[in-house]
Structure 1
Amino acid sequence: MKARCFSFAMCGLVAAFVACGDGDGGGSGGGGGSGASGSTGSLPTSATTSATSATTGSGSASATTSATSATTGTGSASATTGSGSTSATTGTGSEPEGGPLIDDMEDDDNAIADEGGRVGYWYVFHDETEGGQQVPAAGEPFTMTHLDPSRGQSTIAACSQGSGFEDWGAGVGVDLNSLSGEKTAYDASGYTGIKFWAKVGPTSATAAKVMISDQSTAPEGGVCTTGCNDNWAKSLSLAEGWKELTVPFADLAQGGWGDPAATDAIDASKIYSIQFQFNTVPEFDLCIDDITFY
């Protein structure tokens, strides 16, 4: 188990407890090394994060429920989800196929797979609405969820549940290159996009989005100023049964509330994080599994 010490990120002269940027939606996990602290893309509120295994996150939000177990999907029919050309398949799943593995979660720790020079850690983030709750909670370890029943050969996933966030929402994410406490860019220009399995709980909202930050949108990139974290995003339509989703980089677009990027499309040669976010919904209950490039 690769447990490390938690480290904080700085946004200008403000600590990781405080938001970076403004706008209407999006956390961006900061930090590095052993975990991640969150910086937001929304007003002066802040996002908080917690890392998995023996690491802890920042912030003070609390949660009263524990991580729920996931259920498997059935059948093998194909389906479409979200908008544009994002595709999905449903079923019980198997081990990741094809592209380079980002994380399959089976080692049950907070770190992504030690492949391709990638060093990163899972975290949660949210807008710190008073009374909002998220599991894993800020200030506690981000622990992976053991699936019961399993999804084919997969027995562990990254899950988060929450409710009560009324500013821009909450989510879960992972950095791709955060060695020794310094969050830096990762070159994914050799890939077309990402694939992953996802599901939601029976009472969860189903509309979510996947977001990827690059040099133009991440504060660490040095391009954005007051409107950072308007990350490249794609809408998702999730279900209680597991879906495998394919998201090309070409399908991602900024929300338009932050600083415009220096490029017309995401710069895949300089990406920082991958995040899954729900906006202001009554309740969310998300599991992510077997995430790869392709």
Structure 2
Amino acid sequence: MTTRIFLRAFNLVVCGLAVAAFAACGDDDGGGSGSGSGGAGGAGSAGSTTSAGTVDPTTTTTSTGSTDTSTASTAASTSASTGAGAGPQTIEMIDDMEDNDNAILADGGRVGYWYTFNDATEGATQTPPPDPEGTGAEPFTMTALEPARGQSTYAARSWGTGFTEWGAGFGFDLNSPEGVKATYDASAYTGITFWAKLGPGSGTSATVMISDPGTDAAGGACSDKCDAWQKTFAATEEWQQFTIPFAELKQGGWGDPAGTEQIDAAKLYSLQFQIGKAPEFDLYIDDLGFYN
């Protein structure tokens, strides 16, 4: 894939996520400003939402084990045989990771690049590393799965140690052509679905966060306390599929209120995954899509 380097303004908030398995950083405590790594060989958005989440760490889990229910790598949508009421019936893939690059699939008008971010704890490490200057020297790459998860051979993954403020994570913007962050209309979908697992020693949960105009600095309603819509899910060292409706996403409760009761799915900015402060973390995400 032809790559381009994008230089962007980074908007990570100063307080971040404390997943239910870890101690919260507090509503008013200052956190380190994170930096993003991504872009097609360059820099992605730093992500404008990190969260001191207070959401319930329960989750909607639709499947466990290593069976792959969504294997199409290029089609915009694919059927998922999960059974009546057991999960998504139709999935539009955002990224299946099989092309092993840092761009999400160019379907449905989406343009985005994977990046990493963290709380900048001194001495802490994260792989892939953030790239706030957009040098493109170390772009986000996918991790080969050994063994493969069904037909899936690659997954998005970030791991590291030593983050003590609010933690670290990774994600992408849904619509950032030429490096300019814009909204994406996902109102035709019910929510998101993805497969996830944790590496050894990474706790018991992680959080997915999605921002809209009320919870992203790009929307103008918040600046340094952008509190994303989020859901904490109970991950393990085994692959599980998670199906999370937009209606279940809640703000973490530590930052600026969005001014609405629910996320505005017609105007989404970023989708991110985060683990709170911990001695070490290792999070895998695979076959991520919108669903109905």
CA distance in 2, matches of 1:194, 1:115: 16
CA distance in 1, matches of 2:29, 2:100: 32
* TM-score normalised according to structure 1 size: 0.79
* TM-score normalised according to structure 2 size: 0.79
In 2, are the aligned partners of 1:20 and 1:44 still within 8 Å (CA)?
A: no
In 2, are the aligned partners of 1:215 and 1:223 still within 8 Å (CA)?
A: yes
Aligned length: 249
Which string of whole-angstrom CA distances, capped at 9 and with x for unpartnered residues, describes residues 235-280 of structure 1? 1111111101001111110011111012111111111111111111
Question: Structure 1 residues 2 and 242, CA, compared in 2 at 3 Å: closer, same or farther?
Answer: farther
Matched, 1:130 2:128: no
Matched, 1:89 2:87: no
In 2, are the aligned partners of 1:172 and 1:277 still within 8 Å (CA)?
A: yes
One-letter amino acid matched to 2:268: I
The equivalent residue for 2:208 is 210
The equivalent residue for 1:121 is 113
In 1, are the aligned partners of 2:212 and 2:264 still within 8 Å (CA)?
A: yes
One-letter amino acid matched to 2:42: T
Structure 1 alignment gaps of length 5 or more: 10-15, 27-40, 60-80
> 1:99 Cα deviation (Å)?
1.4
One-letter amino acid matched to 1:170: A
3-state secondary structure, aligned to 1:214: coil
> 1:83 Cα deviation (Å)?
1.5
Structure 2 alignment gaps of length 5 or more: 19-27, 47-55, 73-79, 81-89, 132-137
Matched, 1:259 2:256: yes
CA distance in 1, matches of 2:44, 2:190: 32
CA distance in 1, matches of 2:111, 2:230: 22
3-state secondary structure, aligned to 1:191: coil
> 1:21 Cα deviation (Å)?
4.1
Percent identity reads 53
The equivalent residue for 2:279 is 282
CA distance in 2, matches of 1:260, 1:181: 27
3-state secondary structure, aligned to 1:183: coil
2:156 aligns with one of 158, 178, 192? 158
> 1:203 Cα deviation (Å)?
2.2
Q: Higher mean Cα deviation, 260-269 or 202-211?
A: 202-211
The equivalent residue for 2:30 is 43
CA distance in 2, matches of 1:103, 1:128: 28
Q: Higher mean Cα deviation, 182-191 or 95-104?
A: 95-104
Question: Structure 1 residues 42 and 213, CA, compared in 2 at 3 Å: closer, same or farther?
Answer: farther
The equivalent residue for 2:147 is 149
> 1:282 Cα deviation (Å)?
1.4
3-state secondary structure, aligned to 2:278: coil
In 1, are the aligned partners of 2:44 and 2:114 still within 8 Å (CA)?
A: no
> 1:224 Cα deviation (Å)?
1.9
1:268 aligns with one of 265, 268, 278? 265
> 1:24 Cα deviation (Å)?
4.0
Matched, 1:104 2:102: no
Using CA pairs under 8 Å that are at least 6 residues apart, name the structure with larger relative contact order, 1 or 2: 2
CA RMSD of aligned residues (A): 2.2
Question: Structure 1 residues 277 and 42, CA, compared in 2 at 3 Å: closer, same or farther?
Answer: farther
In 2, are the aligned partners of 1:3 and 1:110 still within 8 Å (CA)?
A: no
One-letter amino acid matched to 1:158: A
The equivalent residue for 1:180 is 178
One-letter amino acid matched to 1:83: T
3-state secondary structure, aligned to 1:180: helix
1:227 aligns with one of 196, 217, 225? 225
3-state secondary structure, aligned to 1:220: helix
> 1:82 Cα deviation (Å)?
4.0
In 2, are the aligned partners of 1:207 and 1:237 still within 8 Å (CA)?
A: yes
Which string of whole-angstrom CA distances, capped at 9 and with x for unpartnered residues, describes residues 132-183 of structure 1? 1100012422111111111110111100101111111101111100111100
3-state secondary structure, aligned to 2:91: coil
Q: Higher mean Cα deviation, 218-227 or 240-249?
A: 218-227
One-letter amino acid matched to 2:272: Q
In 1, are the aligned partners of 2:209 and 2:231 still within 8 Å (CA)?
A: yes
> 1:225 Cα deviation (Å)?
4.1
Question: Structure 1 residues 123 and 42, CA, compared in 2 at 3 Å: closer, same or farther?
Answer: farther
> 1:199 Cα deviation (Å)?
0.8
